Amino acid sequence: MGWLNYYGLIAVAILMIPNIIDAVCEKGAFENKYRNTIILLFEQIGRYGCMAFMIFNLPYTFGFWFGSALVVYLSGNGALLALYLWGWIVFRKDRGRAKMLWLSITPTALFLFSGITVLSIPLMLCSILFGIGHITISYKNIE
């Protein structure tokens, strides 16, 4: 793989599809009631960092470090994307804690799994920031 990770681009696009549909169909669906500036900053830095590092490979930060890593990467990401989409379908009309946690933990796991599989330290760090921010905000918005 060169500087562009096509698999990561596809994964990010698939993650975004239900969010775009939800934003268009349900105005105000993403209203944030939780106002902790640090957590919000973690989420935004993590979110955009994860998307960027899933798509663009920095020199010397990307590489499959074990045999069959591409198969593991594609299988793991495929399974996590399927779980994420399944959650969107199952919890489509729900606005409860289960939906919010499902839809925040699954992408965090996908980003972290990808970072570990391709040995991308920036992606791993951003996924941790994203997880801290996104899971906390999702949980707190339900209270």
Q: What is the pLDDT of residues 75-109, one digit of tens each?
A: 999 999 999 999 999 988 777 888 889 999 999 99
Backbone angles phi, psi at 96, to 5 degrees: -85, 180
The answer to whether residue 69 sits within a structural domain is yes
**Type of residue at 68:** S
* Residue 59: closest CA among 124, 121, 125: 121
Residue-number span of the structural domain to which 92 is assigned: 6-142
The answer to whether residue 92 sits within a structural domain is yes
How many domains does the chain fold into?
1
- Token pair of 41, please? 């900053």
Amino acid 60: pLDDT = 66
Q: What is the pTM of this model?
A: 0.90
**Type of residue at 65:** W
The answer to whether residue 1 sits within a structural domain is no
Q: Poorest-confidence range of 30-44, 105-119, 125-139? A: 30-44
The answer to whether residue 125 sits within a structural domain is yes
